Each structure stands twice: as structure tokens, then as C-alpha cells.
Amino acid sequence: MFELSQLRCFVAVAEELHFGRAAKRLNLTQPPLSRQIQLLEHALEVRLFERTSRSVVLTRAGAGFLPEARRLLRLAEAAALSAKRTARGDAGSVTIGFTAVSGYDFLPRLIAHFRKTAPDIDLVLREMVSADQLEALTAGRIDIGLIRPPFSRVELHSRCVVREPLLLAAPTGHWLAKVREVTLADLDREPLVTYSPYEARYFYDLLATIFTEAGVAPQYVQHISQIHSILGLVKAGLGLALVPQAAINLRFRGVVLRPIDIGARVAELHMAWRRSNTNPSLDVLLEEVPALTAT
């Protein structure tokens, strides 16, 4: 089998049609250059040049082999460049786990920004709840998780990327959809579509804390995990709901989203990654995150 060094020698001689000029171009002397050509011809079992004391001419086999030799050299150079870019983090991929809600606003902004700043790095997306993301991070199946707190694992780094208020979701025509300033007291004994204590534990606990601190007792009518499903039930008139501000991006017809005074409580979204992750593309993504966060 021939070597890349032999191909480079062949291409130089084929383009110069002169061993002396080709040797100078390759920073070689003529004897080792001639030896490389002989080894290549032996490997291919064909003559590539007709040589006389006055001229060097490509044989039919040599002329046919030249474009293929050039192509192989280009492929080799491209492969080497790709390996270097991947090592620097300029190319590669990052696998991101995300909750459904993070897909309403933060994740689209992250994707759009990263495609501009690092277009050669692929983002592989995996939708999963926070608990599944924590397991996937620990197992190395994803590089980054967009998850809800709290979580405490020594093997993970994390950063808060979103802090957003909660909004009141009311069906069009409901009296609270027309009130200028909505307070938590307005929800006392009102039917409320709330979150599942299992699939949406973060929001379930957040609302429970908010209502307990305010001394408010809504009438829970359904426990649902997904916000778009909650909005659908609100639209149907089943009850009110509190949803994160990102739900505005759903543009849900028949539902009015209004600010509500809940004090200093906000919904947080964290980005987490494994401390031992050596993916260079992950470092590139993490460098871009501060441009997307308001915290």
C-alpha cells in the first residue's frame, strides 16, 4: 500500500514534469524523490512516468491516477483539519437534555445564538424531565441538562440561566382576565389547574410554597405535568393556572396571561453538566451562555 508522502511526491513531479523542480518544491534532493516515485510505482504495479535525459512525461496510467491522487491528498488534509478543529472545540457535537418548558424560550434562543457563533458544532436535543436528565448526565448520555432545581450532586456543575415570573392564565371572559392588578388573594377558593407532584414536582412545590406563605387556598381541580395541557384546560374553562412567563411564546388562543403579584418568588431554570466531561465543544457552548442570560 502506498503512503501519503509518496502521493505528494507523485503530484509534485506530475505538475512540474521535472524532478529537479519537484524536489526543490518539496525541500528534497532528487535521489529520495526518485525513490518515493519508484516505491509508489511498485505498490501500484504500473509505470507513472516516461523518463528520458531531456523530459518527464506522464504515462496513461499516471495521467489517470493524478486526479485521484489529488483527491486523496485533499481528503487527508481535510481529515487532519477536522481533527484539529474538533480538539479545539470548533467542530463536534453537544447533546442537550431539556424540559418541555425550556423549549418555549431559552432553548430556541440558545440554538439560534450557537448556530451563529459555532455553526460547525451540532446540537443533539433530548426532551426529558429533570429527574431523567440527572441520570443521563451522570451516565454521560447527555452533555448538558436544562433542569429545574433543587438538585445536589457533587459530580455536577450548574448555572442558573433563567429566572422568570409566574403569570396568571385565565380563560377569555373570566373576570380576572379583566382586572388591572391581580393578587394571590384573588385566587382564594378559585378552581385551579395545577401541576403533578410527580412529573412536575418543581412547579408543584413552588406553588404550594407560594400559596402557603400567602395564606391562600385555591380549589385544585386537576394535576397536570405539561404546561400546554394546562393551558388547554384553562381554555376549556376548567380553572385558572399559574404558568412561567415563557408560556407567552405558545400564543394560546382563548387564554389570557396576566401579571400577578407573588412577591419575590420566580421560576428558575438551571444548566447542569458533569465536572469530568472532556468534550471540547461543551466548553465552547458554555462560553456563549452568559450572552443569553439576564441573571
Q: What would the pLDDT profile of 162-206 be if each residue is shown by its tens digit?
A: 999 999 999 999 999 988 889 999 999 999 999 999 888 999 999
Q: Give percent above pLDDT 70 in the chain.
A: 95
Q: Is the pLDDT of residue 83 over 80?
A: no
Q: What is the DSSP string of 39-98?
A: HHHHHHTS--EEE-SS-EEE-HHHHHHHHHHHHHHHHHHHHHHHHHHHHHTSSEEEEEEE
Mean pLDDT of the chain: 90
Contact of 55 with 17, CB cutoff 8 Å: yes
The amino acid at 121: I
CATH architecture of 166-265: 3-Layer(aba) Sandwich (3.40)
Local structure of residue 158 (DSSP, 8 states):
E
- CATH 1.10.10.10 boundaries in the chain: 4-88
Q: Which class in CATH covers the domain with range 4-88? A: mainly alpha
* Amino acid 9: pLDDT: 93
pLDDT mean over 260-272: 92
- CATH 3.40.190.10 boundaries in the chain: 92-161+268-292, 166-265
* Amino acid 80: pLDDT: 73
Each residue's pLDDT tens digit, 128-160: 988 899 999 998 899 999 999 888 888 899 999
- 105 SS3 class: coil
pLDDT mean over 214-220: 95
CATH architecture of 92-161+268-292: 3-Layer(aba) Sandwich (3.40)
* Amino acid 74: pLDDT: 83
Quick one: pLDDT band at residue 295, thresholds 50, 70, 90?
Answer: very low
- Dihedral of alpha carbons 136, 137, 140, 143, sign: positive
Quick one: pLDDT band at residue 118, thresholds 50, 70, 90?
Answer: confident
Each residue's pLDDT tens digit, 271-294: 999 999 988 888 888 888 887 775
Q: Is the pLDDT of residue 243 over 60?
A: yes
